Amino acid sequence: MTELINRQWRLAARPVGNFKDTDFTWHEEPVPALAAGQVRVRNIYLSLDPTNRIWAAQDSYLPAVPLGDVMRGVAIGVVEASTHDALPEGTFVQGLLGWQLYYVGDGKGLTPITKIPGQSLLLYHGVLGAIGLTAYFGLLDIGKPKAGETLVVSAAAGAVGSLVGQIGKIIGCRVVGIAGGPEKCRWIVEELGFDAAIDYKHENVAAALASHCPQGIDVYFDNVGGDILDAALARMNNFGRVVACGAISQYTADRPPVGPSNFLLVVSKRLRIEGFIVLDYLPRAQEAIPQLLGWIASGQLKYRLDVVDGLEQAPQAVRKLFDGSNLGKLVVKVSEEPS
Protein backbone atom coordinates (compact mmCIF):
# COMPACT_ATOMS: atom_id res chain seq x y z
CA MET A 1 0.00 0.00 0.00
CA THR A 2 1.33 3.42 -0.99
CA GLU A 3 2.09 5.64 1.94
CA LEU A 4 -0.36 8.54 2.13
CA ILE A 5 1.24 11.97 2.23
CA ASN A 6 -0.52 14.81 3.96
CA ARG A 7 -0.33 18.33 2.58
CA GLN A 8 -0.80 21.17 5.04
CA TRP A 9 -0.63 24.89 5.47
CA ARG A 10 0.80 25.66 8.88
CA LEU A 11 0.60 29.07 10.52
CA ALA A 12 4.08 30.59 10.51
CA ALA A 13 3.47 34.13 11.78
CA ARG A 14 0.79 36.30 13.36
CA PRO A 15 -0.61 38.35 10.48
CA VAL A 16 -0.18 42.11 10.42
CA GLY A 17 -2.56 43.81 8.04
CA ASN A 18 -3.86 41.42 5.39
CA PHE A 19 -2.46 37.88 5.26
CA LYS A 20 0.86 37.47 3.46
CA ASP A 21 2.32 34.32 1.87
CA THR A 22 4.97 34.27 4.58
CA ASP A 23 2.30 33.91 7.28
CA PHE A 24 2.01 30.24 6.23
CA THR A 25 4.40 27.42 5.48
CA TRP A 26 3.65 24.45 3.25
CA HIS A 27 4.30 21.15 4.91
CA GLU A 28 4.19 17.56 3.67
CA GLU A 29 4.44 14.52 5.89
CA PRO A 30 3.20 10.94 5.97
CA VAL A 31 -0.30 10.49 7.38
CA PRO A 32 -0.03 8.68 10.74
CA ALA A 33 -1.68 5.33 11.31
CA LEU A 34 -5.03 5.39 13.07
CA ALA A 35 -5.12 4.82 16.82
CA ALA A 36 -8.21 3.31 18.44
CA GLY A 37 -11.30 5.54 18.13
CA GLN A 38 -9.84 7.73 15.42
CA VAL A 39 -10.89 8.74 11.94
CA ARG A 40 -9.01 9.77 8.86
CA VAL A 41 -10.89 12.33 6.80
CA ARG A 42 -9.98 13.43 3.31
CA ASN A 43 -10.88 17.08 3.02
CA ILE A 44 -12.88 18.09 -0.03
CA TYR A 45 -13.96 21.70 0.44
CA LEU A 46 -12.23 24.16 2.78
CA SER A 47 -14.21 27.25 3.77
CA LEU A 48 -12.37 30.57 3.94
CA ASP A 49 -13.98 33.14 6.21
CA PRO A 50 -13.17 36.56 7.71
CA THR A 51 -12.92 34.98 11.14
CA ASN A 52 -9.78 33.12 9.95
CA ARG A 53 -7.91 36.39 10.40
CA ILE A 54 -9.03 36.54 14.05
CA TRP A 55 -8.01 32.94 14.70
CA ALA A 56 -4.55 33.58 13.27
CA ALA A 57 -3.97 36.80 15.15
CA GLN A 58 -5.15 36.46 18.74
CA ASP A 59 -7.15 34.66 21.37
CA SER A 60 -10.83 35.52 21.06
CA TYR A 61 -13.85 33.24 21.22
CA LEU A 62 -11.40 30.47 20.35
CA PRO A 63 -7.74 30.43 21.34
CA ALA A 64 -5.37 31.71 18.67
CA VAL A 65 -3.92 29.01 16.41
CA PRO A 66 -0.48 28.18 17.88
CA LEU A 67 2.38 29.13 15.57
CA GLY A 68 3.57 26.00 13.78
CA ASP A 69 0.16 24.30 13.94
CA VAL A 70 -1.99 23.48 10.95
CA MET A 71 -4.10 26.56 10.18
CA ARG A 72 -7.60 26.23 11.62
CA GLY A 73 -10.42 26.04 9.10
CA VAL A 74 -13.89 24.61 8.64
CA ALA A 75 -13.96 21.96 5.94
CA ILE A 76 -16.15 19.27 4.50
CA GLY A 77 -14.60 15.86 3.98
CA VAL A 78 -15.23 12.19 3.75
CA VAL A 79 -14.16 9.57 6.26
CA GLU A 80 -11.78 7.23 4.45
CA ALA A 81 -10.62 5.14 7.39
CA SER A 82 -12.13 4.75 10.81
CA THR A 83 -11.84 2.97 14.12
CA HIS A 84 -14.56 5.28 15.46
CA ASP A 85 -17.98 3.66 15.92
CA ALA A 86 -20.06 6.74 15.19
CA LEU A 87 -18.13 7.85 12.12
CA PRO A 88 -17.79 4.85 9.79
CA GLU A 89 -15.95 4.90 6.49
CA GLY A 90 -17.84 6.81 3.83
CA THR A 91 -19.45 9.29 6.23
CA PHE A 92 -19.38 12.91 5.09
CA VAL A 93 -18.40 15.25 7.90
CA GLN A 94 -18.04 18.99 8.51
CA GLY A 95 -15.99 20.71 11.17
CA LEU A 96 -12.62 22.17 12.08
CA LEU A 97 -10.66 19.85 9.82
CA GLY A 98 -7.95 22.39 9.09
CA TRP A 99 -6.05 23.66 6.07
CA GLN A 100 -4.83 20.25 5.03
CA LEU A 101 -5.63 17.30 2.82
CA TYR A 102 -6.04 14.74 5.57
CA TYR A 103 -7.37 15.10 9.08
CA VAL A 104 -6.50 12.35 11.55
CA GLY A 105 -8.01 12.57 15.01
CA ASP A 106 -10.73 11.54 17.42
CA GLY A 107 -13.46 13.24 15.37
CA LYS A 108 -14.59 15.37 18.29
CA GLY A 109 -16.69 18.30 17.07
CA LEU A 110 -17.18 16.86 13.62
CA THR A 111 -20.76 16.82 12.38
CA PRO A 112 -21.93 14.09 10.02
CA ILE A 113 -23.72 15.55 7.00
CA THR A 114 -25.95 13.96 4.41
CA LYS A 115 -25.31 14.40 0.71
CA ILE A 116 -28.54 15.69 -0.77
CA PRO A 117 -29.19 13.92 -4.10
CA GLY A 118 -28.36 16.14 -7.04
CA GLN A 119 -26.73 18.75 -4.83
CA SER A 120 -23.05 19.37 -4.21
CA LEU A 121 -21.71 19.11 -0.70
CA LEU A 122 -20.86 22.78 -1.19
CA LEU A 123 -24.39 23.47 0.03
CA TYR A 124 -23.02 22.84 3.52
CA HIS A 125 -20.55 25.70 3.13
CA GLY A 126 -23.38 27.88 1.89
CA VAL A 127 -26.88 28.19 3.18
CA LEU A 128 -26.71 24.97 5.18
CA GLY A 129 -23.42 25.90 6.84
CA ALA A 130 -22.14 28.66 9.05
CA ILE A 131 -23.01 31.26 6.42
CA GLY A 132 -26.69 30.39 6.28
CA LEU A 133 -27.01 29.92 10.02
CA THR A 134 -25.18 33.19 10.70
CA ALA A 135 -27.53 35.10 8.43
CA TYR A 136 -30.64 33.32 9.70
CA PHE A 137 -30.08 33.46 13.45
CA GLY A 138 -28.22 36.76 13.43
CA LEU A 139 -31.00 38.50 11.59
CA LEU A 140 -34.03 36.79 13.09
CA ASP A 141 -32.89 35.93 16.61
CA ILE A 142 -30.72 38.98 17.34
CA GLY A 143 -32.09 41.62 14.96
CA LYS A 144 -35.76 40.67 15.30
CA PRO A 145 -36.92 42.65 12.26
CA LYS A 146 -40.62 43.11 11.59
CA ALA A 147 -42.39 43.45 8.27
CA GLY A 148 -42.33 47.06 7.14
CA GLU A 149 -39.16 47.90 9.03
CA THR A 150 -35.98 49.11 7.36
CA LEU A 151 -33.01 46.75 7.42
CA VAL A 152 -29.52 47.86 6.43
CA VAL A 153 -26.73 45.33 5.93
CA SER A 154 -23.05 46.00 5.28
CA ALA A 155 -20.73 43.75 3.27
CA ALA A 156 -24.02 43.16 1.52
CA ALA A 157 -22.54 41.27 -1.41
CA GLY A 158 -20.61 39.02 0.93
CA ALA A 159 -21.57 35.47 1.75
CA VAL A 160 -23.48 36.39 4.91
CA GLY A 161 -24.68 39.85 3.92
CA SER A 162 -26.27 38.69 0.68
CA LEU A 163 -28.33 36.10 2.56
CA VAL A 164 -29.27 38.57 5.31
CA GLY A 165 -30.71 41.00 2.80
CA GLN A 166 -32.68 38.33 0.99
CA ILE A 167 -34.13 36.95 4.23
CA GLY A 168 -35.03 40.53 5.14
CA LYS A 169 -36.96 40.82 1.87
CA ILE A 170 -38.70 37.49 2.47
CA ILE A 171 -40.03 38.71 5.81
CA GLY A 172 -41.18 42.03 4.35
CA CYS A 173 -38.51 44.58 5.24
CA ARG A 174 -37.23 47.45 3.19
CA VAL A 175 -33.63 46.33 2.60
CA VAL A 176 -30.66 48.56 1.83
CA GLY A 177 -27.25 47.00 1.25
CA ILE A 178 -23.84 48.63 1.53
CA ALA A 179 -21.16 47.13 -0.71
CA GLY A 180 -18.00 48.14 -2.51
CA GLY A 181 -18.17 48.89 -6.21
CA PRO A 182 -20.85 49.09 -8.89
CA GLU A 183 -20.83 45.38 -9.79
CA LYS A 184 -21.63 44.25 -6.26
CA CYS A 185 -24.27 46.95 -5.94
CA ARG A 186 -25.88 45.96 -9.23
CA TRP A 187 -25.91 42.30 -8.20
CA ILE A 188 -27.68 42.79 -4.87
CA VAL A 189 -30.36 45.04 -6.34
CA GLU A 190 -30.98 43.46 -9.72
CA GLU A 191 -30.42 39.80 -8.93
CA LEU A 192 -31.10 39.55 -5.21
CA GLY A 193 -33.94 42.07 -5.00
CA PHE A 194 -32.55 44.53 -2.43
CA ASP A 195 -34.48 47.81 -2.50
CA ALA A 196 -31.33 49.88 -2.77
CA ALA A 197 -27.56 49.61 -2.66
CA ILE A 198 -24.93 52.07 -1.44
CA ASP A 199 -21.46 51.89 -2.97
CA TYR A 200 -19.26 52.88 -0.04
CA LYS A 201 -16.26 53.30 -2.33
CA HIS A 202 -17.93 55.99 -4.39
CA GLU A 203 -20.72 57.44 -2.24
CA ASN A 204 -21.02 59.30 1.03
CA VAL A 205 -22.57 56.55 3.14
CA ALA A 206 -24.25 58.88 5.65
CA ALA A 207 -25.92 60.92 2.92
CA ALA A 208 -26.93 57.79 1.00
CA LEU A 209 -28.43 56.22 4.14
CA ALA A 210 -30.46 59.38 4.69
CA SER A 211 -31.76 59.20 1.16
CA HIS A 212 -32.42 55.44 1.01
CA CYS A 213 -33.80 55.10 4.54
CA PRO A 214 -36.36 57.91 4.73
CA GLN A 215 -37.99 56.20 7.73
CA GLY A 216 -34.65 55.63 9.51
CA ILE A 217 -33.03 52.27 10.22
CA ASP A 218 -34.65 49.71 12.48
CA VAL A 219 -32.13 46.90 12.15
CA TYR A 220 -28.50 47.30 11.11
CA PHE A 221 -26.65 44.03 10.45
CA ASP A 222 -23.01 44.99 10.90
CA ASN A 223 -20.28 43.00 9.19
CA VAL A 224 -17.74 45.80 8.95
CA GLY A 225 -17.58 48.09 12.00
CA GLY A 226 -15.68 51.37 11.69
CA ASP A 227 -17.03 54.41 9.88
CA ILE A 228 -19.95 52.58 8.33
CA LEU A 229 -21.16 51.47 11.77
CA ASP A 230 -20.97 55.10 12.86
CA ALA A 231 -22.98 56.25 9.86
CA ALA A 232 -25.62 53.61 10.57
CA LEU A 233 -25.82 54.51 14.28
CA ALA A 234 -26.50 58.11 13.31
CA ARG A 235 -29.51 57.01 11.25
CA MET A 236 -30.96 54.41 13.65
CA ASN A 237 -34.50 54.80 14.90
CA ASN A 238 -35.34 54.69 18.58
CA PHE A 239 -35.31 51.10 19.83
CA GLY A 240 -33.22 50.06 16.83
CA ARG A 241 -31.14 46.89 16.90
CA VAL A 242 -27.55 46.49 15.75
CA VAL A 243 -26.57 42.90 14.99
CA ALA A 244 -22.84 42.78 15.68
CA CYS A 245 -21.70 40.00 13.38
CA GLY A 246 -18.22 41.18 12.53
CA ALA A 247 -15.98 44.14 11.89
CA ILE A 248 -13.94 43.26 8.83
CA SER A 249 -12.78 46.86 8.39
CA GLN A 250 -10.94 46.54 11.70
CA TYR A 251 -9.37 43.08 11.41
CA THR A 252 -6.48 44.07 9.20
CA ALA A 253 -6.08 47.66 10.40
CA ASP A 254 -2.53 48.64 11.29
CA ARG A 255 -3.70 50.68 14.30
CA PRO A 256 -5.70 49.65 17.37
CA PRO A 257 -9.41 49.22 16.65
CA VAL A 258 -11.53 52.32 17.05
CA GLY A 259 -14.93 52.20 18.70
CA PRO A 260 -17.97 53.90 17.19
CA SER A 261 -17.81 57.62 17.96
CA ASN A 262 -21.60 57.75 17.86
CA PHE A 263 -21.74 55.33 20.78
CA LEU A 264 -23.60 57.88 22.96
CA LEU A 265 -26.62 57.40 20.71
CA VAL A 266 -27.04 53.96 22.27
CA VAL A 267 -28.58 55.65 25.29
CA SER A 268 -30.56 58.46 23.71
CA LYS A 269 -32.00 56.20 21.01
CA ARG A 270 -32.41 53.20 23.33
CA LEU A 271 -30.43 51.01 20.95
CA ARG A 272 -29.56 47.40 21.47
CA ILE A 273 -26.17 46.29 20.10
CA GLU A 274 -25.73 42.55 20.39
CA GLY A 275 -22.95 40.28 19.30
CA PHE A 276 -23.19 36.59 18.52
CA ILE A 277 -21.09 33.69 17.30
CA VAL A 278 -22.73 31.16 15.03
CA LEU A 279 -21.14 28.26 16.93
CA ASP A 280 -23.64 28.93 19.73
CA TYR A 281 -26.49 28.30 17.32
CA LEU A 282 -25.34 24.95 15.95
CA PRO A 283 -27.61 23.06 18.38
CA ARG A 284 -30.55 24.99 16.90
CA ALA A 285 -29.55 24.43 13.27
CA GLN A 286 -32.61 22.29 12.58
CA GLU A 287 -34.86 25.29 13.23
CA ALA A 288 -33.24 27.04 10.31
CA ILE A 289 -32.31 24.42 7.76
CA PRO A 290 -35.74 23.34 6.50
CA GLN A 291 -36.72 26.97 6.02
CA LEU A 292 -33.46 27.80 4.25
CA LEU A 293 -33.81 24.79 1.97
CA GLY A 294 -37.38 25.82 1.18
CA TRP A 295 -36.31 29.33 0.23
CA ILE A 296 -33.54 27.93 -1.97
CA ALA A 297 -35.99 25.60 -3.68
CA SER A 298 -38.49 28.40 -4.29
CA GLY A 299 -35.78 30.65 -5.72
CA GLN A 300 -36.25 33.27 -2.99
CA LEU A 301 -32.73 32.75 -1.72
CA LYS A 302 -29.78 32.86 -4.08
CA TYR A 303 -26.14 32.64 -3.36
CA ARG A 304 -22.87 32.65 -5.18
CA LEU A 305 -19.86 30.47 -4.65
CA ASP A 306 -16.31 31.50 -5.38
CA VAL A 307 -14.49 28.16 -5.59
CA VAL A 308 -10.71 28.23 -5.85
CA ASP A 309 -9.08 25.05 -7.05
CA GLY A 310 -6.28 23.53 -4.98
CA LEU A 311 -5.15 23.71 -1.37
CA GLU A 312 -1.93 25.44 -2.52
CA GLN A 313 -4.06 28.49 -3.37
CA ALA A 314 -5.46 29.00 0.13
CA PRO A 315 -3.08 31.77 1.32
CA GLN A 316 -3.65 33.85 -1.80
CA ALA A 317 -7.37 33.15 -1.81
CA VAL A 318 -8.01 34.13 1.81
CA ARG A 319 -6.63 37.62 1.12
CA LYS A 320 -9.55 38.30 -1.22
CA LEU A 321 -11.84 38.49 1.80
CA PHE A 322 -10.00 41.54 3.10
CA ASP A 323 -9.27 43.45 -0.10
CA GLY A 324 -12.89 43.28 -1.19
CA SER A 325 -12.22 41.38 -4.38
CA ASN A 326 -14.31 38.26 -3.82
CA LEU A 327 -17.98 37.90 -4.52
CA GLY A 328 -19.89 35.12 -2.84
CA LYS A 329 -18.88 32.38 -0.49
CA LEU A 330 -15.15 31.65 -0.78
CA VAL A 331 -14.21 27.98 -0.80
CA VAL A 332 -11.05 26.08 -1.67
CA LYS A 333 -11.52 22.77 -3.43
CA VAL A 334 -8.99 20.48 -1.76
CA SER A 335 -9.88 17.20 -3.47
CA GLU A 336 -12.61 15.68 -5.61
CA GLU A 337 -16.16 15.32 -4.32
CA PRO A 338 -17.39 11.73 -4.80
CA SER A 339 -20.13 11.69 -7.40
**From 1, 33, 36, 267, residue interacting with its own copies (rule: CB under 8 A):** 267
State the amino acid at position 213 in one-letter form. C
Grouping H, G, I as helix, E, B as strand and the rest as coil, residue 73 is: coil
Residues 6 or more apart in contact with residue 268 via CB below 8 angstroms: none
Cβ proximity to its own copies, 8 vs 134, nearer residue: 134
Size of the site for its own copies (CB under 8 A): 34
Cβ proximity to its own copies, 214 vs 256, nearer residue: 256
- Does the footprint of its own copies cover residue 304 (CB under 8 A)? no
**From 171, 277, 305, 307, residue interacting with its own copies (rule: CB under 8 A):** 277
Enumerate long-range contacts of 110-116, CB under 8 Å, 24 or more apart.
Answer: 110/39, 110/41, 111/282, 112/86, 112/87, 113/76
**From 41, 127, 140, 271, residue interacting with its own copies (rule: CB under 8 A):** 271
Give the Cα separation of 326 and 158 in Å (integer). Answer: 8
**From 5, 67, 116, 264, residue interacting with its own copies (rule: CB under 8 A):** 264
Burial class of residue 287 (count of CB atoms within 10 Å of its CB; 0-12, 13-18, 19+): middle
Site pattern 17..56 for its own copies (x: CB under 8 A): -------------------------------------x--
- Supply the DSSP string of 79-143, one letter for each residue: EEEE--TTS-TT-EEEE---SBSEEEE--TT-EEE-PPTTS-GGGGGTTTSHHHHHHHHIIIIII
Q: How far is the CB of 274 from its own copies (least distance, A)?
A: 4
- Does the footprint of its own copies cover residue 270 (CB under 8 A)? yes
Give the Cα separation of 190 and 251 in Å (integer). Answer: 30
Site for its own copies in 220-249 (CB under 8 A): 225, 230, 238, 244-247
Beta bridge partner(s), residue 102:
42
Cβ proximity to its own copies, 4 vs 244, nearer residue: 244
Q: How far is the CB of 151 from its own copies (least distance, A)?
A: 19
Q: What are phi and psi of 20, to 5 degrees?
A: -120, 160
Q: What are phi and psi of 281, to 5 degrees?
A: -95, -5
- Does the footprint of its own copies cover residue 309 (CB under 8 A)? no
Site pattern 170..209 for its own copies (x: CB under 8 A): ----------------------------------------
**From 22, 83, 261, 325, residue interacting with its own copies (rule: CB under 8 A):** 261
Give the Cα separation of 50 and 245 in Å (integer). Answer: 11
**From 68, 109, 257, 338, residue interacting with its own copies (rule: CB under 8 A):** 257
- Does the footprint of its own copies cover residue 144 (CB under 8 A)? no
- Does the footprint of its own copies cover residue 259 (CB under 8 A)? yes
31-39, 90-98, 274-282, 306-314 -> range binding its own copies (CB under 8 A): 274-282
- Does the footprint of its own copies cover residue 335 (CB under 8 A)? no
Q: What are phi and psi of 243, to 5 degrees?
A: -85, 110
Q: What are phi and psi of 105, to 5 degrees?
A: 180, -170
Specify whether the CB–CB gap between 24 and 319 falls below 8 A. Answer: no
- Does the footprint of its own copies cover residue 16 (CB under 8 A)? no
Beta bridge partner(s), residue 103:
41
Site pattern 51..80 for its own copies (x: CB under 8 A): ---x-----xx-------------------
Contacts to its own copies by CB under 8 A = 54, 60-61, 225, 230, 238, 244-247, 250, 256-277, 280
